[in-house]
Amino acid sequence: MWTTIEQIFPYAIIYTIPLLITALGGLFSERSGVVNIGLEGLMVVGAFAGAFTSFKLQESYANEGWVPWVGLLVAVLAGVLFSLLHAFASINLSADQVISGTAINMIAGAITIFMARNMTGSGNIRVSGFSPFDMDWKWLPLSDIPIIGPLIFTKTYWTTWLILLILALSSFLLYKTAFGLRLRACGEHPHAAEAAGVNVKRMRYIGVMISGAFSGLGGAIIIMTYAGEFTGSVAGLGFLALAALIFGQWRPLGVLAATLFFGIATTVANVSQVIPSLAVIPPIVLKVFPYAVTLLALIVFSKSSRAPKAAGEPYDVGKR
Amino acid sequence: MKNNLIISLCAVAFGLLAGAVLMLATGHNPASGYSYLFEGGLKNPERIGNTLATATPLIFSGLAVAFAFRTGLFNIGVAGQLLVGGFVASVVGLNLDLPQVLLLPAMLIAGALGGALWAVVPGLLKARFNVHEVVSSIMMNWIGFWAVYYGVQSFIKNPSSETESMPLPDAATLKASWLSDLFDGSFINLGLMLAIVVVLAVAFVINRTTFGYELKAVGHNRDAAEYAGITVNRSIVYSMAISGAIAGLGGVALYAGNASNIQIGILPSQGFDGIAVSLLGANHPLGVLLSAIFFGLLYSGRGFMNAMTDIPPEIADSIIAIIIYFAATSILVERLIRWAIRRRANAKLNAAQEGKGK
């Protein structure tokens, strides 16, 4: 049993990380008052931008360690640029945010494959991303720590630690700084925030752009860690991140717990066939499990939901 | 109504324009691209038939989305409802030994029930627990995806293929040889007739019945509807169930009309396109019919265009997606129209005043 957990857990973390950063991005957007159902599309854009950049750079700088990092950076920029479409529609034009987000998803899915096909014909872009490593340095043998060593510090990626750092910083930013307070105020009561001198539209732009940056990063991390290839979709992870955001009740640590749950549940379902103790459970049960639990969680939290009150509503200055 | 038409036409124009820019940017000739795209969908009776057949599932999915929209609900779970409806109908079609006149209605009922079941869950959650239907129907999509994935393998697996269901016998499909012959061997089928019947039925229910009026009232203003004595929660559940049933019928048209079996591991893209169809059609049944045929044309012609010009077929998806973005931001167009009207009025006023001054 323990060896099974030891085997599965590093993969669960690898799978969790893109989900976590994307959900965290969604948290910024929704906390500022803009529902962003376009996370899926923003991830696809990031995945494409990252894969495209690495692919081009690899032609002249094969096997250079910095190439995937540049890919991540470009993915972040692409995510921000693309999220502006959603920000413009939902903040300036008071468009229905769910529809605008759906349009983002459709545009991202279609245009990235269109461009990828122009490049490679098949529409798939193979890149060599990061390689996993064990944190077993002589001066700091972290992977030798009992219990958590094999779970957390083996087969790990630097991106995992980068994302956890971003999570910590985001938590600080949201709850310990004036900026965080203002951002959250815009999602709860924009008119009060405006009266207190906060520029609601600007805060919402920032919220949506952060969600674009983080989703782009998440999409690219998928390519650079476990996928290794851009195929035109991120298999519904953006929607799952959205569910994790609700499951985690719009709080950073809640989101961490929710995405880790999804990561573990999905990894277990994926490997169940090769692990004897799990193979007795019908695979459909394991596959459906995370989604069914989410539905249950939605019901349980429905009474005490902490959804940002103004999320999804266009900000109308004249409406009090 | 007239405004809606202008907005939709503007969105289409912008989408086609953006498509042309995309073609130019990737080094292709937009003029030849578009002429092959439309030729591919309309060149001869067979291609016209194929365009209509491609449009058929889109009519259903667009109607399903539009119906729920009218009650203020965003049914993003049409993909799962199509899949489940198609699956249930296929199970019935493969296992019941009935003459065609009885088998087809049985399959349609089964498909509608399957789709309705998948949609009523988010409806109930919304009515009873105020759970947002978007997230719950996305979850239902994935549950349906995996249920059908394993359901096909356990109940109706094709003995010669791991990834698809047994093909339905011709008697258990909506294929009709007279219709195919009429369009020179196209895969057009009775699904189209069914779709038109459903369009008319939905138009009638929404515009001419008390029930439809109640659903619309809930969509316009939930509190006012409640105050007027309409049972809002019941309306929500009914609206989702009917929306899902329409999607389920679309599943039958898709998997037992256009195709004759189910490929597992694919969530039908027609479900998400339904959102686009509904939006472009301004949530109006006839609008849905027209925009579905337009999208069917883009989808059906893209293969020919790809063969003749090397433009990737995803250009069609890109154009549709951009159209939807412009439809979603239609307020921009509305503002432009209003601005133009005001400018013209001002100009007239100024001219009149100047005339007086002299």
Domain with B121 in it: what CATH number?
1.10.3470
**DSSP state string for A172-223:** HHHHHSHHHHHHHHHHH-HHHHHHTT--HHHHHHHHHHHHHHHHHHHHHHHI
In this predicted structure, what is the pLDDT of residue A320?
58
Instruction: Look at residue B2 and tell me whether its pLDDT is greater than 80.
Output: no
- Residue in the structure block whose two tokens are 């997230």: B135
| Global ipTM | 0.87
Phi-psi region of A197 (alpha: psi -120 to 50; beta: other; left: phi over 0): left
Stated as kind and residue range, the H or E segment containing A126 is strand A125-126
The structure tokens listed for B162 are 């791991």
A113-143 pLDDT, tens digit per residue, is 998 988 887 778 888 888 888 888 888 888 8
Kindly report the nearest CA distance between residue B312 and chain A, in angstroms.
6
Q: How far is Cα B284 from Cα B196, in angstroms, rounded to an integer?
A: 13
Could you tell me the pTM of the whole model? 0.91
B89-132 pLDDT, tens digit per residue, is 999 999 998 898 999 999 999 999 999 999 999 999 999 998 88
Residues of A in contact with B129 (CB under 8 A): 298-299, 302-303
Confidence of residue B357 (pLDDT cuts 50, 70, 90): low
Residue of A nearest to B315 (CA): A114
Confidence of residue B358 (pLDDT cuts 50, 70, 90): low
Map residue B263 onto helix, strand or coil. Answer: strand
Strand partners, B164: B263
Domain housing B267: 29-310
A-side interface with B, Cβ within 8 Å? 37, 85, 88-89, 93-96, 98-100, 102-107, 109-111, 113-115, 117-118, 123, 236, 239, 242-243, 246, 282-284, 287-288, 291-292, 294-295, 298-299, 302-303
Residue B202 CB neighbours (<10 A):
23
The structure tokens listed for B309 are 């010009």
Instruction: Look at residue A278 and tell me whether its pLDDT is greater than 80.
Output: no
Q: Do the beta carbons of residue B194 and residue B253 sit within 8 Å?
A: yes
How far is CA B232 from each of CA B209, B215, B236, B238, B332, rounded to the nearest angstrom? 17, 8, 6, 10, 33
Residue A59 CB neighbours (<10 A):
7
* B224, part of any domain: yes
Please state which CATH class domain A2-130+144-301 belongs to: mainly alpha
The structure tokens listed for A118 are 């122009």
* B2, part of any domain: no
B134 contacts A236? CB cut-off 8 A: no
B134 contacts A243? CB cut-off 8 A: no
DSSP single-letter state for residue A156: B
User: How many domains in chain B?
Assistant: 1
* B39, part of any domain: yes
Residue B181 CB neighbours (<10 A):
10
Which residues neighbour B239 within 8 Å (Cβ) at sequence distance 6 or greater?
B67, B68, B70, B71, B73, B123, B215, B218
Q: How far is Cα B329 from Cα B83, in angstroms, rounded to an integer?
A: 30
Interface check for B276 against chain A (CB to CB < 8 A): the answer is yes
Residue of B nearest to A245 (CA): B135
B130 contacts A284? CB cut-off 8 A: no
The mean pLDDT value for A96-107 works out to 90
